[in-house]
Amino acid sequence: MDVAPLTADAGPVAPGAGDAEERSRGRRLRLVAWAAAAVAILGAAALTAWELAAARVPQHRAALEALIREHTGLDVGFKELTVRWGWYGPEAVFHRVVLGEPGGSSVLLRAPRLVVGLDTWRMLRSGELAVARITLVEPDIDLGTGAAGARTAHRPQAGHDSVLAAGARLLSRWRGGRIELEGGTLHWPMPGALPLTVGVQHAQLRRLAELWDADVQLLLPASLGESLHLSAQMRGDPAEPHAMSGSLGFDGRRLEFGGWREVIRDPAAERYLPGGGLGNLELHAQFADGRLLRADGKVLAEGLAWRGPAVAAESLGIGRLRGDWQLARRGEVWRLEAHALESGERAPAAFSASVDVASDAQSAQGRVESVPLPLLAAVARSFAPQLPLGQLSLEGVAHELSFDWNARRPAGERLRTSARLEELSIASLSHELTLTGLTAQLSGVDARLTLDLHGERAQLHALRAEPVSLEGLVVAARFALAAEHGGWQLRTDELAISRPDLALAASGTLAADGAGGKPRVAAHVALKQADAVLIAKLLGPGALAALGAASAAQLSIGRIENADLEWRGTVDPARAPWSAAGSVFRGAFELRDASLGGLDPWPQLEHLDAHLEWRGARVHAAIAAGQAGTFTLAGASAEWDALGERPTHLAARLTASAQPALAWLRAHRELAAYAPGIEDLDLRGDTRLDVDVLVPAAAGGSSTRANHAPRPRTRINAVLDGVQLRAVAGLPPIDALHGTLGFAGGHLQPSQLSGQWLGGPVALSVAERRDSGATALTIAGRGLAETRQALLAAGASDDAMLEGHAEWTALLTLLPGSEGSGLRWRVRADSNLIGVASRLPEPFAKSESVPLPLRVEVQAGADTGQLRLALGERLRATVALHRSGELWRIERGAVHLASTAPSLPEEPVLTLEGRMSRLDLPALLALWRQAARDAALPALRARLSAAQLAVGARTYDEVSVTAEAAPGGGTLELESAGLAGSASWPATVDDSHPALVHLSRLDAPQLGDGAWSPGLAAVLGPAARLSIDDLEWQGRSLGSLAAQLTFRSDGFDVGEARLAGENEDSHGSLHCQDGGGCRAEFSLDSRDAASTLAAFGFRPELAASRARLTGELEWPQAASPSLATLAGSLHMRLERGVTRTAAAAEGGVPLALLTVPALTAGMRAENRDGVLPALGFSRLTAEFELRDGQATVDLHFDGDAEILVRGRTGLLAHDYDEQAWILRGEQRLPAAVRRLGPTPKVAAVWLSLRELFAGSADRTRAALRLRGTWEEPMVTSAD
């Protein structure tokens, strides 16, 4: 190190900081020097010790062996000895060590190494070898060798005691110090089996004189658990355990408790050790002078099981147990306390217990709080296995459970118990029945217990296919249970369960002896006002089924008014209650307003009032009233045997509506064995059935009943009183049917019936007979039919076209169908129709006394058939039928108006062909439209010819008609000399889709004829469009007509009517109301007034270039529109015309309303006034009021002369009574009046004013009076 001296140039040294740093550095150097010296000294000492030990080890090998023998008391053998420096100093390592009993040949321990730690300090002081500790590495210890030595040296004791004695003897010979085990195995001998091998994870044992300290960590075999930690602090000699004192700790993890019974093998301890289970156990014990002072610990285990103390007792099982416990001695009493115990049951999470046991074991008292009831029941089953607790599932909590046992009390009174049970529920083992919401007080002396059971809102739950619950039950009961002589007895004299709709009381005894026999019962049960459905659901289907098939029905409603049951005998769930010899099982109950079903195929019983009683297997039921489907029970009784060993007899009287009863019978074809054939009859009305059914017992009893059901013997009498019979679907029914149908031996007996059909009497014979190898049901009938009723039944209108009565005969045969097909039937009916008068057109017209043979034959199956009809020589028909629901539909057919039978067409159509003498067009149209709407008919085609066609009052000769009709509509075409046209209509006729009637030519002598006939109008409703190309009236052509006809339920309308002629156009409308009148509005515009007058049949007495006539007329609907019934107003206006002379106007009738031609004709003889025969005019206006056959006239003629006319015209009398004014020159109306309005009324007012204000000289003298008839009018002066 180079050190430079300080110079003056460096300046003065700063004091403080440099000196402190120098002093700190010096102290650190001194400490390092001292430490190095100490290490050197220690190292030298250690080296010296090591050299000393190493130098002496070869010389003292024998001394080391002796030293180990002295410390352990065992002989030692090894293969090699080495020395090494360990953590604590020099160590002597013995390789492949063997330890054994001194002088013995057996080996107690083998280890790959035994390390002896030498005490260096003692060796330095004494110069001799000194042992500080001994460490065994991976030793293999066999305690069986030590146990054998112990048995040889002391007494021949095997198993657990010998192993413990050997261990105590080995420990007693140890001089002290410390022994450690690192790993290794320990072999524990097992008598009669291979020894257990325990893994040693770590072990340490220290001894200082009489003080012992041990700590062992073991790895257990699978049969004992997972691990075990043992610790101990003791004082004394292990060879003398009665003098030992100290504490002991035991901490086992995941112990298999069942395996420890084989290790401990202590008869006194085996009683308390569980035979199974897994868990953790901690134990801390203190003892003095070999006696236990106190102990405590913890337990956490699951699946615990203890063997019962009694023979054949059930094992006590606890699913889960957790808690702390303490055991301490207080004077002469040992007290065991357990707190916060958890058993894992469905009860409070924890409970506590305390037990005091006298040291002499002559008395014990205990108290348990909040113990789960399942745990308590399991303990009871283990101590008293004969009790039937195993058949029950108990839930709840036992509070204030206490017991007091004293061996000094007399036998039978030594144990006294009491408990209060809360939240109690009692259930069957399968939990099919569970009673909850109970409390109980339990008290007992030895094996005799008394249980007082209470419940204010108890609940009963039944686990069925449909769960059932009863809530709000009030329960009060006292039970006495005794378990003696290997048997038990449960008795109650007062058991009551009630709620507002139920009351049950029971008493009895249930007992079993100790010989393993079945329990015996002697019980009585009374039930009142209970819901029968609820009781049946609670009992389950097996309870009712035990009474036999006749009672295995399902209740859907009902009330048990009262019931009584007595049972004495052996309880065997696998057998019926009455099966055992000497058993008594009887009872009765009253059932009210019940609904009972399930007796397939019989209908459900409703509103049933019955009394049922049984004695053993014999059951009798008396039914006072009830409803069985459509049947009403007027009384019934039934007897049967629950075991099926005796016949079942059923007798009943029922009333029912026949139609729903037979509908139900048809739905249950299997009942043909009870009443064959009746299901094929269609009866409607009230009937009475007397039924007697006897079902023989099955061969072999109930065991073969299901497979060999005997055929029942049935007798049924059906009394018919005013019922209705429909023999075949589609035919009218037979009413007011009386008689009796009898069934016996599976067959219908010959029966006679009478009734009414088609308005007349009918007599029927119903029987069975063989037909084509099968049994057929036949109904032969004879009667008198009213034609009006026959028409109504056929769907025709009651129009009195047919009158009278006819006799008829018929035979209906009903044949059973083959497999897979339905019923087949055929009918043949005949009548000569004598007594029937027909006003129908040909070919159906006949007089009352003339016979006309009618034959109808029908053959049909379930869905198809064929009908043939013959009406004398006039008509033949053949049709194919198809059934749709209850009606028969014609698929195809042909009708010939001839004596030859037609053949069926190939197409689905009904054809009508032939010739008739007279054909009514409205009737034909009505029939055709009605047929088109009939769903029972196919498409229609007709080809007819007639000598005469009638349309209203008109007839036309030699007409041919072709028509077609279908659901979509129809058409008709006709052709004759005087009438030709067609008609068509859609499927639905309305305002938007009217019927169309087109006539190319119509000659109508009167306007009410032809297309306007009422019959044709009704057929065309509700809406029709009429068009006529050429309408002729009285030989004159009026032009073409078009009109819209609308028919209502209360009348009809004619709208958009237009008549277009050569010189005129007419428009109008008509409205008619039923019960009211008709109102017409029209207008006529003419371009040639003379031609128009001539066209309508009037004289052309007046000509005009333009004419217009408008009007509003009314008349009663009941009357035809005639002049006598018309009322209303007309307005006429003609322009630029001239009156014509009589010669020019010859022909037709005069139009009296014009007046001016009649006025000129009446003045023809008095030409002195200058009135010319023909007058020109520029305008003629007139207004008319029509009423009561009279027309009031106001007319103004403005032309060569001005003529004013007022008065009346007799429309019925054809006469005149009018006044006329002829004005010329200045007498004409002023221009101002004309501008005001030159109407007749205005002119009349002006003339009246002028007559009033003018002088006598100025008054006109031109007033005339028109009288006379239309053919001979007369004109006179008004004065």
Spatial distance between the Cα atoms of 970 and 965, rounded to a whole number of angstroms: 4
Residue type, 8: A
Spatial distance between the Cα atoms of 159 and 991, rounded to a whole number of angstroms: 119
- Shortest CA distance to 720 belongs to which of 680, 751, 679? 751
Q: Are 783 and 757 in contact (CB under 8 A)?
A: yes
Q: Count Cβ atoms within 10 A of the Cβ of residue 845 and give its class: 0-12 exposed, 13-18 middle, 19 or more buried.
A: middle
- pLDDT for position 1185: 93
Strands 909-916 and 887-896: parallel
Looking at 1043, 1060, 1077, the residue that finishes a domain is 1060
Sign of the CA dihedral with 175 first, then 178, 182, and 187 last = positive
State mean pLDDT over 88-101. Answer: 85
Segment among 6-10, 714-718, 888-892 with least mean pLDDT: 6-10
Query: Is the same domain home to 1130 and 1052?
Result: no
Best-predicted range by mean pLDDT (119-123, 536-540, 651-655, 936-940): 936-940
- pLDDT for position 133: 84
Question: Would the pLDDT of 33 be above 70?
Answer: no
- Shortest CA distance to 875 belongs to which of 857, 897, 851? 897
Spatial distance between the Cα atoms of 401 and 394, rounded to a whole number of angstroms: 16
Spatial distance between the Cα atoms of 1141 and 1160, rounded to a whole number of angstroms: 9
Dump strand ranges (E) for 598-681.
Answer: 605-615, 618-628, 631-641, 648-657
Q: Are 474 and 504 in contact (CB under 8 A)?
A: no
Residue 572 half-sphere exposure toward CB, CA atoms < 13 A: 13
- Domain for residue 988, yes or no? yes
Higher pLDDT, 164 or 865: 865
Spatial distance between the Cα atoms of 477 and 491, rounded to a whole number of angstroms: 11
- pLDDT for position 304: 81
- pLDDT for position 52: 54
Question: Would the pLDDT of 677 be above 60?
Answer: no
Query: Is the same domain home to 1266 and 1167?
Result: yes
Residue 1257 DSSP class: T
Query: Is the same domain home to 1047 and 1109?
Result: no
Residue 407 half-sphere exposure toward CB, CA atoms < 13 A: 7
Q: Are 919 and 949 in contact (CB under 8 A)?
A: yes
Indicate the pLDDT class of residue 629, thresholds 50, 70 and 90: confident
DSSP notation for 35-60: HHHHHHHHHHHHHHHHHHHHHHTTTT
Question: Would the pLDDT of 10 be above 50?
Answer: no
Phi, psi (degrees; rounded to nearest 5) at 46 = -65, -40
- Domain for residue 1073, yes or no? yes
- pLDDT for position 954: 78
Q: Are 607 and 627 in contact (CB under 8 A)?
A: yes
- Domain for residue 1111, yes or no? yes
pLDDT digits (tens, 9 = 90+) for 435-481: 999 999 999 888 888 999 999 999 988 887 778 888 899 999 999 98
Indicate the pLDDT class of residue 377, thresholds 50, 70 and 90: confident
Arithmetic mean of pLDDT over the chain: 79
Query: Is the same domain home to 1106 and 1172?
Result: yes
Indicate the pLDDT class of residue 624, thresholds 50, 70 and 90: confident
Query: Is the same domain home to 1149 and 1193?
Result: yes
Indicate the pLDDT class of residue 155, thresholds 50, 70 and 90: very low
Residue 74 DSSP class: S
pLDDT digits (tens, 9 = 90+) for 460-472: 888 877 788 888 9
SS3 state at 1141? coil
- pLDDT for position 1170: 41
- pLDDT for position 552: 47
Spatial distance between the Cα atoms of 832 and 849, rounded to a whole number of angstroms: 10
Query: Is the same domain home to 1029 and 1171?
Result: no
State mean pLDDT over 374-384. Answer: 77
- Domain for residue 1243, yes or no? yes
DSSP notation for 418-481: EEEEEEEEEEETTSSEEEEEEEEEEEEETTEEEEEEEEEEEEEEE-SSS-EEEEEEEEEEEEEE
Spatial distance between the Cα atoms of 80 and 232, rounded to a whole number of angstroms: 35
Please, which residues bridge with residue 295 across strands? 285, 327
- pLDDT for position 549: 47
Residue 119, C-beta contacts closer than 8 angstroms, at least 6 positions apart: 89, 130, 131, 132
- pLDDT for position 712: 76
State mean pLDDT over 162-179. Answer: 74
Q: Are 782 and 796 in contact (CB under 8 A)?
A: no
- Domain for residue 1143, yes or no? yes
Question: Would the pLDDT of 868 be above 90?
Answer: yes
Looking at 1007, 1032, 1060, the residue that finishes a domain is 1060
Query: Is the same domain home to 1074 and 1003?
Result: no
Using CA atoms, how far residue 541 sits from 536, 551, 606, in Å, is 7, 10, 20
Q: Which helix (H) or strand (E) segment is 564 a member of?
A: strand 554-570
pLDDT digits (tens, 9 = 90+) for 1195-1236: 888 887 888 888 999 988 889 998 888 877 666 766 666 665
> What domain range is 974 assigned to?
907-1060
Please, which residues bridge with residue 896 across strands? 876, 913
Question: Would the pLDDT of 170 be above 80?
Answer: no
Segment among 180-194, 262-276, 671-685, 1146-1160 with least mean pLDDT: 671-685
State mean pLDDT over 1108-1118. Answer: 87
- Domain for residue 240, yes or no? no
Residue type, 880: A
Query: Is the same domain home to 1132 and 1056?
Result: no
Q: CB count, 10 Å around CB of 717?
A: 17
- pLDDT for position 247: 92
Best-predicted range by mean pLDDT (74-78, 535-539, 1261-1265): 74-78
Q: Which two tokens stand for residue 970?
A: 């129809």
Q: Count Cβ atoms within 10 A of the Cβ of residue 28 and give its class: 0-12 exposed, 13-18 middle, 19 or more buried.
A: exposed
Question: Would the pLDDT of 840 be above 80?
Answer: no
- Domain for residue 1145, yes or no? yes
- pLDDT for position 19: 57
Greatest alpha-carbon pair distance for the chain in Å reads 207
pTM here is 0.53
Report, in angstroms and rounded to the nearest whole number, the Rg of the chain calculated over CA atoms. 66
Residue type, 348: P
Looking at 1060, 1083, 1111, the residue that finishes a domain is 1060
pLDDT digits (tens, 9 = 90+) for 764-786: 998 888 877 777 888 899 999 98
Residue 800 half-sphere exposure toward CB, CA atoms < 13 A: 0
Question: SS3 for 391-405, per residue?
Answer: HEEEEEEEEEEEEEE
Segment among 514-523, 716-725, 1065-1074, 1181-1190 with least mean pLDDT: 514-523
Q: At what angle do helices 160-173 and 143-153 cross, to 10 degrees?
A: 90
Query: Is the same domain home to 1252 and 1269?
Result: yes
Using CA atoms, how far residue 906 sits from 861, 879, 903, 911, 913, in Å, is 21, 12, 9, 11, 16
Q: CB count, 10 Å around CB of 84?
A: 11
Spatial distance between the Cα atoms of 1043 and 314, rounded to a whole number of angstroms: 109
Count, residues in the chain: 1279
- Domain for residue 943, yes or no? yes
Q: Are 1102 and 1093 in contact (CB under 8 A)?
A: yes
Query: Is the same domain home to 1024 and 1165?
Result: no
Q: Which two tokens stand for residue 427?
A: 């259930």
Question: Would the pLDDT of 630 be above 80?
Answer: no
- pLDDT for position 12: 39
Residue type, 1140: R
Indicate the pLDDT class of residue 243, thresholds 50, 70 and 90: confident
- pLDDT for position 703: 42
Query: Is the same domain home to 1046 and 1070?
Result: no
Segment among 187-191, 278-282, 459-463 with least mean pLDDT: 187-191
State mean pLDDT over 622-640. Answer: 82
- As a whole-number percent, the residues of the chain with pLDDT over 90 amount to 16
Cα dihedral 303→306→310→314 (10° resolution): 10
Number of domains in the chain: 2
Residue type, 650: L
Question: Would the pLDDT of 233 be above 70?
Answer: yes
Please, which residues bridge with residue 902 across strands? none
Query: Is the same domain home to 1008 and 1069?
Result: no
Indicate the pLDDT class of residue 949, thresholds 50, 70 and 90: confident
Please, which residues bridge with residue 625 across strands? 609
Phi, psi (degrees; rounded to nearest 5) at 922 = -60, -40
DSSP notation for 1215-1242: EEEEEEEEE-GGGSPPHHHHHH---HHH
Higher pLDDT, 939 or 554: 939
- pLDDT for position 154: 42
What angle is formed at CA 972 by the lines to CA 971 and CA 978, rounded to 5 degrees? 150
